[in-house]
Amino acid sequence: MKYEYKLYEPSWCPGCGNYMIRTALKQALEDLKLEPHEVVLVTGIGQGAKMPHYIKVNGFNGLHGRALPPAIGIKLANKNLKVIVESGDGDTYGEGGNHFIHAIRRNIDIAHFVHDNQIYGLTKGQASPTTAKGQKTTLQFDGVKLEPLNPLALALTMGAGFVARGFSGDIPHLVNLMKEAILYKGYALIDILQPCVVWNKVNTFAWYKERVYHLPEDYDYTNKEEAFKKAMEFGDKIPIGIIYKVEKETYEEKFDFIKNGPPLVDVDLNPKNAEKLIKEFV
């Protein structure tokens, strides 16, 4: 089955990076031969988070900052579903920062694609956690005074097993990254750089285009020290690709009844099964 774009007209601005990310997502899902009913797209709130409305797939479009918790609940309830989280930089690293940190600690098998345009788009141009220090915005009139959050370094520090950076302007590359992330057993983060054509006049398409480069073929993504170096590289040069990838036991595999049993959603329910627990209270 082909992934259809829904008939709904995206509310994205012309030229928005979200269109390219959607193209890449559709391609990745089709290449992996995943049917729309086998995939759940879980999103928060923001322009990128409207994705489930513009591609035909199961969707849980929840609250701002809260895409990860329901995604975790979904995966644990039905391990057969492919769970993909898409949300923006403010959604993931700001409002949802605590969930982000702890999702990494859990290492549940979900792929997380962060639409990182280094600005708040839907609320009209305020600084996001990844906006550069000093950058003037519609709220930080004399420039951002906070240090930007480095999502890749943070993810590495928290022990993430799959950390990558993509660029919405390089669709074939992004498709491959997405496929790798979806196939990866565990929590896989792709921070996807994308321009915000209306609100971010600094990190434009041209700005990214000049700076991004593919990690070389011989780059060893199992080397954490190297990965930290690449994660910190965000200036004149910005590497894209898999920064770090190692195999790790997933959270759900640590529970015998999840690993070896049927998906929880398929377990037969019988109240009488619990009757034996009464003996504790006799």
Partner 1 sequence: MEYNILIGGEAGQGIDTFANLVSKVLKRSGFYIFTNYDYMSRIRGGHNFIQIRFSDKPVFSLKSKFDIVFALNEETIILHRNNLKNNGIIFVDNEILKNDSSLYHLPLNEIAKNLKNSKVATTVGLGVLIKYFGLSDDLGKNVVNDEFPDSIREINITALSKGFDLIDKKFNLSTKNDENIILNANQAVALSAIAAGCKFYCGYPMTPSTGVLSYISSHSDEMNIFVEQVEDEVSALNMALGASYAGVRAMTGSSGGGFALMVEALSLAGMIEVPVVVIDVQRPAPATGFPTRTEQADLQFVIHAGHGEFTRMVIALKDVEDAFYQTARAFNIAEKYQIPVLLLSDQHLADSLKTVKPFDFDKIDIQRYISNEESITDEEYKRYKITPTGISPRILPGKIPGQIVLVDSDEHDEYGHITESADIRKSMVEKRLKKLEYLKDEIQEPLFIGKENPENLVIGWGSTYGAIKEAVENLVDEGISVGALIFGDIWPLPTQRLLELSKNAKKIIDIEQNATAQLESLIRQEALIKSTHKILKYDGRPFSIDEVYEKIKEVLS
User: Site residues (CB under 8 A) for partner 1?
Assistant: 1, 6, 8, 11, 35-38, 40, 42, 45, 50, 52-53, 56-63, 66, 68-78, 80-81, 98-99, 101-102, 255-258, 261, 264-265, 267, 269-275, 277-278, 280-282
Smallest separation, CB 49 to partner 1 (Å): 10
**What's the CA gap between 273 and 10, in Å, rounded?**
49
Smallest separation, CB 5 to partner 1 (Å): 13
Greatest pairwise CA separation for the chain in angstroms: 73
SS3 158: coil
Token match 């996807």: residue?
A: 192
Smallest separation, CB 266 to partner 1 (Å): 9
Q: Which is nearer to partner 1, 45 or 243 (CB)?
A: 45
Smallest separation, CB 73 to partner 1 (Å): 3
Q: Which is nearer to partner 1, 132 or 258 (CB)?
A: 258
Smallest separation, CB 80 to partner 1 (Å): 6
Query: Quick one: tokens of 68?
Result: 């990860």
Of 138, 177, 148, the residue nearest 90 (C-alpha): 148
Q: Which is nearer to partner 1, 3 or 208 (CB)?
A: 3
Of 65, 227, 238, the residue nearest 154 (C-alpha): 227
What torsion, rounded to 10 degrees, do the Cα atoms 56, 66, 98, 242 define?
10
Query: Quick one: tokens of 7?
Result: 């008939």
Identity of residue 165: R
Q: Which is nearer to partner 1, 25 or 42 (CB)?
A: 42
Q: Which is nearer to partner 1, 76 or 196 (CB)?
A: 76
Of 66, 161, 166, the residue nearest 114 (C-alpha): 166
CB atoms within 10 A of CB 253: 17
Q: Which is nearer to partner 1, 86 or 170 (CB)?
A: 86
Identity of residue 153: A
Smallest separation, CB 100 to partner 1 (Å): 10
